[in-house]
Structure 1
Amino acid sequence: MSASRARWAGSGRRSEHLTQASAAPFCVRTPPSASASSRSATRRERLVEIRDNLVARITEAEQQGWLGEIEGLQVSLTGAEAKIRQIDDSSPVPGTVHLGLPTTRKS
């Protein structure tokens, strides 16, 4: 049992954050590992979902006047957007690759 789950285990309280955090396959604040581009695409799709959810939650928090919640969500949103940019910057750009001119070997 993780520390965050153990903290809530005794109270019987089920937090929305814990449910969403346990469903996420990675942390928004950690750098992406050197992985295959297909995994990067899957991670990017998941990050876009997380970002869209955070935007919706920020809007709801603003409507409800939950100022402390807004600040925390904006920190997470900034992290998700930075991670999306990292993935976009590290993904190969389709196009022409210059391989140079072939040469002959002198024996």
Structure 2
Amino acid sequence: MLQVGPKMQPRLLVLRTDLQQRRDRAVTEGWRGEIEGIDLTLRLLEEKIRQTTTVANSPVALGMPALRV
């Protein structure tokens, strides 16, 4: 599965806006199959957006330093 970094979040938000506009048009035109595909893509995109938020707010485990003798 593709791992998305926090720096990609603005681009993901742009993609979400575009998909929402496409969905609105599909609803207007009555394209049921297109609506289903866009809904699936939006759900997966929302998960990626949540992942970038989680990664951005998570502490990084650096481990314990080794003792020099």
| TM-score of the aligned structures, taking structure 2 as reference length | 0.75
> How many Å apart are 1:31 and its aligned residue?
3.7
Q: 2:57 aligns with which of 92, 96, 104?
A: 92
Distance in 1 (CA, whole Å) between partners of 2:24 and 2:47 is: 20
The structure with the largest helix share of the pair is: 2
> How many Å apart are 1:92 and its aligned residue?
2.8
Q: 1:58 aligns with which of 23, 44, 50?
A: 23
Query: Which structure 1 residue ranges, 5 or more long, are not aligned?
Result: 1-29, 34-38, 94-107
Instruction: Tell me, yes or no, if the aligned pair for 2:6 and 2:55 is still in contact at 8 Å.
Output: no
Q: Equivalent residue for 1:32? A: 3
Moved segments of 4+, more than 4 Å: none
| TM-score of the aligned structures, taking structure 1 as reference length | 0.50
Tell me the number of residue pairs that the alignment of Structure 1 and Structure 2 aligns. 58
Q: Equivalent residue for 1:81? A: 46
State which structure, 1 or 2, has the greater radius of gyration over its C-alpha atoms: 1
SS at match of 2:57: coil
How large is the RMSD of aligned CA atoms in angstroms? 1.6
Percent identity at matched positions?
Answer: 33
Amino acid in the other structure paired with 2:37: G
Query: Which structure 2 residue ranges, 5 or more long, are not aligned?
Result: 59-69
Distance in 2 (CA, whole Å) between partners of 1:45 and 1:52 is: 11
Q: Equivalent residue for 2:63? A: none
Q: Pick 1 or 2: higher relative contact order, CA cutoff 8 A, min separation 6.
A: 2
